[in-house]
Structure 1
């Protein structure tokens, strides 16, 4: 039997969907294999260290996505601040599927996930904060205010995703996106 072929991006997105919804402890290798489109043996072939290596690869993918689609965008001074913020919010909205998705960083911040992947999670969140801090400085805010706003952006997004899931409504998430735009007072 020929080995199955699955593109890396599709593979990681499938794996991320299980890890986001079930966390590290709740995700089984059978579920991960099913979501990836691979047989369990093929999944082990790609990730010989199992679930730990799978989760690390997914976190690396998320970190790279945030670096490219949020951080680099927010620090790009060749684009107006209003355009940067609008595009960043559009990218955030795409990442979280209009508020329908659960954030993998939140899911992996529980139980064993945070013990094993705490540094990767922190690094990814810090990248987000660094991007919004630099953006805030470009908008004319002093360092401390820019950083405070950056933390608030992350809290607004993460908190609104939890509340949206709990209320079975994306309205809190949509309100959080609007509050981020209002926070920076750009035309």
Structure 2
């Protein structure tokens, strides 16, 4: 029997993946992970530059456009469930966009902060309620990533409300606290869990 020795190409093809290979398994994987770090730095910069309201809106108002879309797209497949109703995600998107309009009008001092907070709260509620329904109706069990993502999102919603109370009352310390806790307890865990779940799917 003739055994062909491994060439350098074959050796490279059969080597164990390095930590960098595991991170760079796809463009989406690498850029998403770097995006998490970049977004966190942008929010942190907002805090450092005394731009806490802008950092708050970035974290709880702008990020959801991408995060909610990703979740609503992939959750049904991960949970082997029905797709999210078009009406629901259309309303969520409209509410998020309307909240940003109210944010702009608030910056121009044409409206108060309350319409922004109410509209954004409604978008968060519709997302959490939709994901909860998908999770509850999922066949079988063992969806640990999705369960922890739900917990992190629920915590994010509570921290958003905490920051909203701080914004309405003029307590910047409370607003800053909601941002700092949101970075560590909502943003990073949620996106890390999403990254891991996407890698497994």
What TM-score does the superposition give when structure 2 sets the normalisation length? 0.29
Task: Determine which structure has more spread, i.e. the larger CA radius of gyration.
Answer: 2
What TM-score does the superposition give when structure 1 sets the normalisation length? 0.30
